[in-house]
Amino acid sequence: MGGAADSKLVPARSAVAPSEAGYSTLTRPHGSPGEGERVIDEATRLVLGGGLVAFPTDTFYGLGVDPFNEAALERLFAVKGRPAGAPVPLLLADAGGIAAVARGPVPPGALRLAEAFWPGALTLVVLKASRLPDAVSAGRDTVGVRVPDHPAPRAIARAVGRPVTGTSANRSGHPPLKRAEEVAAELGDAVDLIVPGECGGHATPSTVVDFTRGRPTVVREGAVPLAEIQRVCPDVAPRAR
């Protein structure tokens, strides 16, 4: 791959791998230990400035913008070709980040699942804070949140100081993508930065459990099986067929 697409990879054609200190070690032989932090710093600067960045997660590549920036949200929907009626999930740096986007106390069952499966591929749907733009929730009073089991989005959300969007980095209706090069080929100059790195091994997206409709219910089956969820929170109902 060459030309404009490669220019979006920072550093181009390299991958950034997790380390105990965070997102800081390049997998290429001559990458400097600080290069990963510089990529995250650039991603943070872009998100805070209303930009659109792609990053690896524990499932697939995601697209991140500031969910409180309505112009950035409009751009995100336009780039994906995502219908306005589709809500956008949010990624948190840690479980404490839920306070910035949720309204009222988080249900005890949701807290138990968060403790058991975060960081991980489990999205919890809770009541949305009123200050969060309606575009995030497609006009509903709910929002989906999770802490991904990948250092890149967590580091960006932590540096930004609030959650970031985490919808998949692909055109709506297309398969989700695992590789930076695939994102560059599909989205090209529509994104400001593609954070290089490896996604996690999940072959499916996160499982989604809705805690806003009375009995908590699985609304999307995914990486975390229902049986594991029910071991922690027996009240969770399976997805309606």
207 DSSP 8-state letter: E
Instruction: Supply the CATH number for residue 130's domain.
Output: 3.90.870.10
User: Could you give the count of Cα atoms lying within 13 Å of 234 in the half-sphere of its Cβ?
Assistant: 0
Partnered with residue 165 across adjacent β-strands are 90
With tokens 């932090």, the residue in question is: 37
Q: Is residue 229 part of a domain?
A: no
Range of the structural domain that residue 168 is part of = 4-202
The reply to whether 166 falls in a domain is: yes
Q: What is the pLDDT of residue 7?
A: 42
Task: With respect to residue 240, please indicate whether it lies within any of the assigned structural domains.
Answer: no
Residue at 19 is within a domain: yes
List the alpha helices (DSSP H) in 105-160. Answer: 108-117, 134-137, 151-160
Residues 6+ apart with CB under 8 A from 105: none
Asked if 124 and 146 touch (Cβ cutoff 8 Å), the reply is: yes
- For residue 8, name the pLDDT band (cuts at 50, 70, 90): low
The reply to whether 227 falls in a domain is no
Overall domain count for the chain: 1
Query: In whole angstroms, how far apart are CA 123 and each of 83, 113, 184, 208?
Result: 21, 10, 26, 5
Could you tell me if residue 214 is inside a domain?
Answer: no
Give the model confidence (pLDDT) of 91-149 as tens digits: 999 999 999 999 999 999 999 999 999 999 999 999 999 999 999 999 999 999 999 99
Q: Global pTM? A: 0.87
* Cross-strand pairs, 194: 9, 54
pLDDT in tens, 129-141: 999 999 999 999 9
d(CA 99, CA 107): 13
- Structural domain includes residue 154: yes
> What confidence score (pLDDT) does residue 9 get?
55
Strands 167-168 and 142-146, bridge-based pairing:
unpaired
Decide which of 141 and 28 is more confident.
141
